[in-house]
A and B are shown apart, each in its own frame.
Chain A
């Protein structure tokens, strides 16, 4: 297992290097001149040149890259010109908001889709199988931003049972003291049930709109994978040995079927990370997606760079975690390492 970890870590290094180069080039290629933007419309060319020098934009590209890498190594992602804060600090305060939303959505989706897929496969042709088919076809035809807007319209505006889609917590409630940055956990840690329900109420709509989209691929893969495993020779052996249906379905079938589901779970997770940008915009969610969008609109390089870098590192970590999970489930993967 340690071998697997080390070999996968080694293969992650080139991706990290690639990401560093790409984020650097990407922001330099974006349209718009940040120096001109911050100097303002009435600025003289001289003033613009001064700001450019202050931002280090007058240096050659290789020189800028060197400075960038040095800064990265010391954990310095630059300063956001709009918030005036170091980007690292900005991202660290916003990341938990995005992470809490994404993880809750993923958890909701998995908790519904995986049992649904398993049951649909075990009771093929039953009502639960039909339900599964409906979910998988309906889910993909509803894009996240659309469900988000629809939910806000129906549950907040029409029915008025959801709070205003404006951030993580109602303005009248004080956020719980920072421990993990996840409001749900932090509020429970200090037994502040009011804040817990408040945070959950705010999370419900954005998390649900993200979860609904993720249901489809998860349920479809779980069902398909279970069906193919259940038709396998070793399931016949297990049944011929009289093993209890519970053992056959969970210990024998599901553990084998879960491998492709893990892969899809990873894909869904990375997709949700991307979908954050849309959902956070719709629900005014103070996460890193909204932060990046605002920065992009003002040609503020550093936050965009920081955002892309953070996302890339998250993707890489995620893939690493999935590889390790694979190794945990499947002994054949462990041996390959």
Chain B
């Protein structure tokens, strides 16, 4: 990773204004993705994985606000770009796919048209060529009989097929970065593997960098070069997959790993971690947001800390790493 990274997020903080007060959902998040690298972003539900992705893409809810940070992508800071210029990049240079592919597609528009819309928008094809180009995209994501499927509506396709269409939309303009937010949640296990293989293969073909958001450490280890662990809006650990599995240094990561049974993936796994995420509306949150759930807690854990290097490409945010 000597070349400039594909994406370098630094010091990203996001807060949401809600009825119950301001929620500091992300605090000083750093995330780096090398060119062609596949990085997993893992953490339990509510830890801020999606918000990190949305903030980077510039598609946060109106209630959400980026309070600090930068996201360097191809020489530009995504967080500082005006919406008009950012929209030019979205779908062309950086793309995103979502969980629930059925609801993530426009229910009353033919899937071929939805792919064509993106192609036409970013100059990937003229209006006349777009239908044919859309069929080609469907072929690239291995949808059988793409000519016929292009004319289908999402409700006429299975969940797995819809996710392939989502991938076709995201990759239509050959972006250099793909953020996949739990792309396989809600799909059956066989389809999960097929979709993951497909994303991996297409990424390798075009040298695309991928951020893969998931709950599932086993899946992350299988498909990703590096794993980044999030907890309550903080990045707590980042290491190459094998290294993380061999020796996690953050107590939270260790807990996550202990809850992941070997090679087989488990959906319930993450629930067996003691305690809950802290309430992010609190004003007296300790510097280490995990400390209140941590059995190794010491009085020093409340004072400020940052990600520190503990090994070759291995970062941990803990005063007393394992």
Cα distance A265–B97 in the bound complex, in angstroms:
36
B100 A243 Cβ-Cβ under 8 A: no
Interface residues of chain B: helix, strand, loop or mixed (majority) = mixed
* Contact partners of A240 in chain B: CB under 8 A: 57, 59, 90-91, 95-96, 98, 170
Given A233-B98, A233-B103, A234-B103, A241 contacting B169 (CB threshold 8 A): yes
The answer to whether B108 and A331 touch across the interface, beta carbons within 8 angstroms, is yes
Chain B residues within CB distance 8 Å of chain A: 57, 59, 62, 87-92, 95-96, 98, 100, 103-109, 117-118, 121-122, 153, 155, 166, 169-170
Contact B96 A331 (CB under 8 A): no
A residues less than 8 Å from B91 (CB atoms): 240-243
Asked whether B107 lies within 8 Å of A241 as measured between CB atoms, the reply is: no
Given contacts A233-B98, A234-B103, A252-B106, contact A242 B90 (CB under 8 A): yes
Secondary structure at chain A's binding surface: helix, strand, loop or mixed? Answer: helix
Assess whether B118 is in contact with A241, with CB atoms less than 8 Å apart: yes
A93 interfacial by beta-carbon distance below 8 Å: no
Chain B residues with CB under 8 A of A238:
106, 117
A237 within 8 A of B: yes
**Which residues A209-259 have CB closer than 8 A to chain B?**
232-234, 236-245, 247, 251-252, 255-256
Cβ of B178 to closest chain A Cβ, rounded Å: 11
Judged by a CB distance under 8 angstroms, whether A332 is at the interface is: yes
Give, as a whole number of angstroms, the nearest-CB distance from B101 to chain A: 9
Candidates A232, A252, A329; contact of B103 at CB < 8 Å: A232
- Identity of the chain A residue whose Cβ is nearest the Cβ of B113 in the assembled complex: A251
A-B contact pairs, 30 of them (CB 8 A): A124-B62, A232-B103, A233-B100, A234-B103, A234-B104, A234-B105, A234-B106, A236-B98, A236-B104, A237-B105, A237-B106, A240-B59, A240-B95, A241-B95, A241-B121, A241-B170, A242-B92, A242-B118, A242-B121, A243-B118, A245-B87, A247-B121, A251-B109, A256-B106, A256-B107, A331-B108, A331-B155, A332-B107, A332-B108, A332-B155
Closest B residue, CB atoms, query A235: B106
Query: How far is it, in angstroms, between the C-alpha of A252 and the C-alpha of B104 when the chains are bound?
Result: 12
| Chain B contacts for A236, CB-based, 8 A | 59, 98, 104
CA distance in complex: A244, B108 (Å): 18
Question: Which residues of A sit under 8 angstroms from B103, Cβ to Cβ?
Answer: 232-234
Is B122's CB under 8 angstroms from A242's CB?
yes
Query: Which residues does chain A contribute within 8 Å of B108, judged by CB atoms?
Result: 255-256, 329-332
Smallest Cβ distance from A231 to chain B, in angstroms? Answer: 9
Cα distance A247–B127 in the bound complex, in angstroms: 14
Chain A proximity of B57: nearest CB distance (Å): 6
B159 to chain A, nearest CB (A): 13
Q: Chain B's nearest CB lies how many Å from the CB of A259?
A: 9
> CA–CA, A243 to B59, complex, Å?
12
Give complex CA distance A242, B89 in Å: 7
* A247 closest partner in B (C-beta): B117
Q: How far is the CB of A235 from chain B (nearest CB, A)?
A: 9
For A245, give the chain B residue with the smallest CB separation.
B87
Apart from A241-B91, A241-B117, A330-B108, what 7 extra A-B contacts exist at CB < 8 Å? A236-B59, A237-B98, A237-B104, A240-B96, A241-B90, A332-B108, A332-B153
- Which has the most chain B C-beta neighbours within 10 Å: A124, A247, A332? A332
**Chain A residues, Cβ within 8 Å of B169:** 237, 241
- Tell me the bound Cα distance from A78 to B96 in angstroms: 69
- For residue A54, give the distance in angstroms from its CB to the closest CB of chain B: 59
Q: Please report the C-alpha to C-alpha distance between residue A237 and residue B154 in the assembled complex, in whole angstroms.
A: 14
